[in-house]
Structure 1
Amino acid sequence: MGKPAALQSDQRRPRHTLASNESVATVDEIQGSPSPCHQVDGGDSKDGETSGYSIPFLPEDIWRRIHSLMPVDAAARAACLSHTFLTSWRCYPKLTLNRHTLCSKARGGNLRCRIIDNILRNHSGIGLKILRLHLCSEYSSFPYIDNWLQVAVTLGIEELTLWLHKKYKFPCSLLSDGVRSSIRCLQLDFCVFHPTLELGPLRSLTRPRPRDVRITGEELECLLSNSLALEHLDLCNCKEIIFLKIPSVPRQVSYLRVWGCWDLQVIENKAPSLSTFSLIGQVSKLSLGEASQMMKVLSLRHANVVCYARAKLPSITPNLDTLVLGSSAEVNTSMLPTKFLNLKHLSIQISGATLPPSYDYFSLVSFLDASPSLETWYLEVSQEDMEHESVFGGSLDLRQLREYHHDSLKSVEIIGFSSARGLVELTCCVVKSAVSLERLTLDTLRGGGRCSGGNNGDCSDQICCPVSKAVVEEAFRGVAAIRKYIEDKVPSTTKLIVLEPCLRCHTTTVLDYYGM
């Protein structure tokens, strides 16, 4: 069947008009010259039908809906081909402007600035809801940014992401009364932001995300106090914040994540609904307020956090459901009478380059004893050289908890399993006491980074991530410890999964520890 005449004529047009990597630039060029767009769906029409190659007749609002669901580069190309889509392109609700969408052939800052300027002006005031400007440092010398934002950020905007890679001062005047009523998500990266109480209420803002932003704690408090619908706060690398205060006014705040704010000393929360809190870094004072009693998910990452959590958190956050702990250095955890009565999911990551031989993995059994409702336990130990006493040296007697039974634990995963005596003793204690255990996974190489061939010897172009000879040797010792001390203790109702060193990638040196 021959192709329609209109489509044949479309193929005779210059190729640069349809080049996929020139989508935005091409749209910008043809918006002032609509004739090419009629090559696809133009022509004589009658009762919604067109001669030649045509698209189905549908109401304009349906075509706009279809167009709005396309990625921005595909939407721009569609506007090049169709008058219908060219019309809806001017109402396209979400724009992501970065190196990719501006096309690689639009080289030079001046050309790209003209493209951005034309695109934003053609979308001004006609339905733009999401604007993401990811601009590189080459734009820092151009004075257009203020003008672009004034044109694009208008009544109806719901999400604004500004990533400039420079110290751009975000104009608070941009958040006019109409914008304050509609904007829901405001993410600012690499800029200066100085909100004041005079800013006025942001009635719809639920998720402010300052990242690498120069803002003080007092200024952030002004923003939060004005954010009446605030639900999530994600704060990253804001180095000028020393005192972080979450006011009580936005009562719906349920999620707070703070990471990379290395000068932060005090966190004071007065929001009563906070249920999920994540902190990377250590502060001298942490006050969760009345929300601590209802906290469900808590993630803390700093040195000695495992010992801190066991000693302090049962009384501070008694209703925790999920606890995630990450530490680069640790001291032994003590057996204490306090309990995590409602804790169901526990994750502990200890990533010291070399944990001191004095650290006792068996001390982590304190968490098992303190958490009668625990269902899943993930433990990751990452160290380059294992200096602990091996289970293959010294006494053959292993420590255990006397007459102890855990009725809820179903899944345990240990990453970086080694022959360290304390780690073997901890695992044996889990196997013996967790009568409901369904799955035990012991990974001797810290997980991830394995080739698709795995232990089956299958051919694959991929290889496992390289590890040192010492790590491989200790991994084989860990496998031997599993075979000798753990495997025969695992009941038939528990599935034991042992992830060994890869037989294809990790056996360049002949290692045979299985007979130990």
Structure 2
Amino acid sequence: MGIGHCSPVSNAKRKLPPGSPQSTSAKRRKPRLRISSLPNDILSSITSKLSLKEAARTSILSSQWRRVWSCRAYIDLSHHTVLSESDKERSWTGPRGIRLNRRKFIKSVGALLQQHEGVGTEDIRIRHNLCDRYAGHINRLVDYAIASKAKGLILELWAVNYGPTTVPYNFPLQVLDTKNSNLCRLELWFVSLSPPASYRGFQNLTKLCLRDVSITNEDVQRLLSEGNHLECLRITYCKMLTSLRIPHCLNRLKVLLVLSFPLLQDMTLDCGVPALHYRGSLIPMEFAAPLKLRKLSIELLTCHSALGFIFNELPATLPRLEMLSLSCTQLERVDSVSRLSKFRSLHHLILNWTISGSARGTTDILDLGCLLEAAPFMEKLELHMVMDHFLHKRYCHEDGELRSLPSCPHSHLSLAHISGFIGEKDQLELALHILHNATVLKSLKIDPWPRTANPIRARVKSENRLANGRSVALEFLCKDDYRNVVSVLEDVGE
């Protein structure tokens, strides 16, 4: 390159002297944007998308980021959020790996909480394989939840590789019996509860969930006797309970869930609760204030007739029942019911009905037609059926004329949904009964796919059954659909 020949230099790369007009205007045109310049609420939202361990690492960026991470509203201290991938894999190496995994979890949680200021915490979840042997460590976590003024605590413990004599963690109820506690939501798994005689009850608690908790009948009474702020109570799989009584002082209770008690023999509701969900065997139930019960969900784990339960077992003292959901497996048909009760306030009925193979020869699905007469003001009807048997006969003209029940005009039913419709004769007869008698019907949805919440076996899912259900509905049901209210679903995703 000769003398005097200069290589071209673009203005973008030319350095300008500081303070020059061009340099000042360039700074005005291109302000330097940093993520730390965002408002704290947006930064908190960003860190909430990260795992707990990743969010804690942001504290090294600056003093501002330390405050952002420490204001995390939801703290999830679990196997997945605290441990590294190598630590998680170690738990698959047997009992020794599980013990090392447990120690690493306790150490990591302690290190994380030392960095957290406990400001703005709403909910804390502690989930790991721990028992009373680690009570000291669990106590520190519970104390942290109280000190951080958290409103929700989920203590989800379980016992693996401890042995049959494992003692569950004894939850210190006295921490709730103080003015320092802001807890209003509490969920306990695999703990033991022994409220002392001087226990004054829950001060602020509005939601209580007990799962696999070791507690006696008398201790449940003592525990709930002062819980007059409770709005939601859930008790699941408490193996020691044989009798359950919900005291009348729970006058603010809105939802009660009693699920899967292996030894429960009876239940008494001395309080008036608007919504009850029960799962278990058929047991006597007493309602001291039946007028308040509006929603009732029953999942029977023992085999029972659906109509037999509705008309013979369901208390006739529920005059304001608006929604009923019943799940059961039927082994035999009930030829007649002792009384055809009237449910004049019932607006929504859901029946999840599994018919076993031994009952199919005697069960007549057309019997369900009496529900139109029993609930004259019903507006929505859902019948979700599973035909749990090998023999299946698609209806055709050679099977004889279709039966019909006496006319029963229904002037309120507007929405009906029948799932598990596989084209059998009595299924078709029931659908026609609904179509002919529901005078204000707007939609009758026919779904060959079984939508029931009960487990569905592989043989129920056969494409042949689904195709038969669709073809029978299109050939025989849609022919009588003069109002164009019938819809036959084609795909399982609809």
TM bracket, shorter-chain basis: 0.7 to 0.9
Match of 1:332 among 324, 331, 334: 334
SS of the residue corresponding to residue 158 of structure 2 reads strand
Q: Could you tell me how far apart the structure 1 residues matched to 2:176 and 2:256 are?
A: 23
Aligned residue in 2 for 1:511: none
* Residue 121 to residue 491, structure 1, CA distance change in 2 (3 Å): same
Q: Is the 8 A contact 1:385 1:471 kept in 2?
A: no
Aligned residue in 2 for 1:363: 367
Q: Is the 8 A contact 2:418 2:447 kept in 1?
A: yes
Unaligned runs of at least 5 residues, structure 1? 3-49, 450-464, 503-516
Match of 1:372 among 373, 376, 381: 376
Q: Is the 8 A contact 1:343 1:374 kept in 2?
A: yes
Q: Could you tell me how far apart the structure 2 residues matched to 1:122 and 1:80 are?
A: 11
Unaligned runs of at least 5 residues, structure 2? 1-11, 13-30, 88-100, 160-167
Matching of residues 415-494 of structure 1 within 5 Å: 415-447=419-451, 467-468=458-459, 471-494=462-485
Aligned residue in 2 for 1:342: 345
Match of 2:140 among 130, 147, 152: 147
Matching of residues 37-436 of structure 1 within 5 Å: 53=34, 55-56=36-37, 73=52, 75-105=55-85, 107=87, 108-123=101-116, 126=119, 128-136=121-129, 143-154=136-147, 156-166=149-159, 167-180=168-181, 182-272=182-272, 274-290=273-289, 292-302=290-300, 303-304=303-304, 306=306, 307-313=308-314, 315-329=316-330, 331-332=333-334, 334=336, 336-354=339-357, 355-385=359-389, 387=391, 391-392=395-396, 396-436=400-440
* 1:143 CA drift (Å): 4.6
Q: Could you tell me how far apart the structure 2 residues matched to 1:102 and 1:142 are?
A: 19
Greater mean alpha carbon deviation, residues 373-382 or residues 115-124: 115-124
Q: Could you tell me how far apart the structure 1 residues matched to 2:445 and 2:128 are?
A: 45
* Residue 439 to residue 174, structure 1, CA distance change in 2 (3 Å): same
* Residue 283 to residue 71, structure 1, CA distance change in 2 (3 Å): farther
2:284 is aligned with what amino acid?
K
Greater mean alpha carbon deviation, residues 372-381 or residues 325-334: 325-334
Q: Is the 8 A contact 1:159 1:183 kept in 2?
A: yes
1:491 is aligned with what amino acid?
Y
* Residue 420 to residue 105, structure 1, CA distance change in 2 (3 Å): closer
Q: Is the 8 A contact 2:377 2:412 kept in 1?
A: yes
Greater mean alpha carbon deviation, residues 229-238 or residues 384-393: 384-393
Q: Could you tell me how far apart the structure 2 residues matched to 1:365 and 1:197 are?
A: 54
Greater mean alpha carbon deviation, residues 342-351 or residues 112-121: 112-121
* Residue 445 to residue 305, structure 1, CA distance change in 2 (3 Å): same
SS of the residue corresponding to residue 478 of structure 1 reads helix
* 1:309 CA drift (Å): 1.4
What do the CA deviations read for 1:100-158 (whole angstroms, capped 9, x no partner)?
22142473444432221133344466554422101135996685222332344337231
Greater mean alpha carbon deviation, residues 337-346 or residues 232-241: 337-346
1:293 is aligned with what amino acid?
L
What do the CA deviations read for 1:22-57 (whole angstroms, capped 9, x no partner)?
xxxxxxxxxxxxxxxxxxxxxxxxxxxx99957338
* 1:197 CA drift (Å): 4.2
1:381 is aligned with what amino acid?
M
Q: Could you tell me how far apart the structure 1 residues matched to 2:452 and 2:62 are?
A: 47
* Residue 239 to residue 333, structure 1, CA distance change in 2 (3 Å): farther
Q: Is the 8 A contact 1:356 1:388 kept in 2?
A: no
1:489 is aligned with what amino acid?
D
* Residue 493 to residue 486, structure 1, CA distance change in 2 (3 Å): closer
Q: Is the 8 A contact 1:414 1:443 kept in 2?
A: yes
Q: Could you tell me how far apart the structure 1 residues matched to 2:75 and 2:296 are?
A: 35
* Residue 490 to residue 154, structure 1, CA distance change in 2 (3 Å): same
Q: Is the 8 A contact 2:349 2:382 kept in 1?
A: yes
Q: Could you tell me how far apart the structure 1 residues matched to 2:315 and 2:80 are?
A: 49
* Residue 279 to residue 418, structure 1, CA distance change in 2 (3 Å): same
Percent sequence identity over aligned pairs? 21
2:178 is aligned with what amino acid?
D
Q: Is the 8 A contact 2:229 2:252 kept in 1?
A: yes
- The structure with more radius of gyration: 2
SS of the residue corresponding to residue 161 of structure 1 reads strand
1:79 is aligned with what amino acid?
S
Q: Could you tell me how far apart the structure 2 residues matched to 1:177 and 1:234 are?
A: 23
Count of residue correspondences: 434
Q: Is the 8 A contact 1:334 1:366 kept in 2?
A: no
What is the RMSD computed on CA atoms of the aligned residues? Answer: 3.4
Match of 2:487 among 493, 496, 499: 496
* Residue 317 to residue 420, structure 1, CA distance change in 2 (3 Å): same
* Residue 217 to residue 67, structure 1, CA distance change in 2 (3 Å): farther
Q: Could you tell me how far apart the structure 1 residues matched to 2:34 and 2:425 are?
A: 76
Q: Could you tell me how far apart the structure 1 residues matched to 2:84 and 2:310 are?
A: 50
* Residue 478 to residue 148, structure 1, CA distance change in 2 (3 Å): closer
2:74 is aligned with what amino acid?
K
Q: Could you tell me how far apart the structure 2 residues matched to 1:226 and 1:128 are?
A: 27
Poorly superposed stretches of 4+, deviation over 6 Å:
none
Q: Could you tell me how far apart the structure 1 residues matched to 2:445 and 2:380 are?
A: 12
Q: TM-score, normalised by structure 1?
A: 0.75
Q: TM-score, normalised by structure 2?
A: 0.78
Greater mean alpha carbon deviation, residues 131-140 or residues 93-102: 131-140
Q: Is the 8 A contact 2:244 2:264 kept in 1?
A: yes
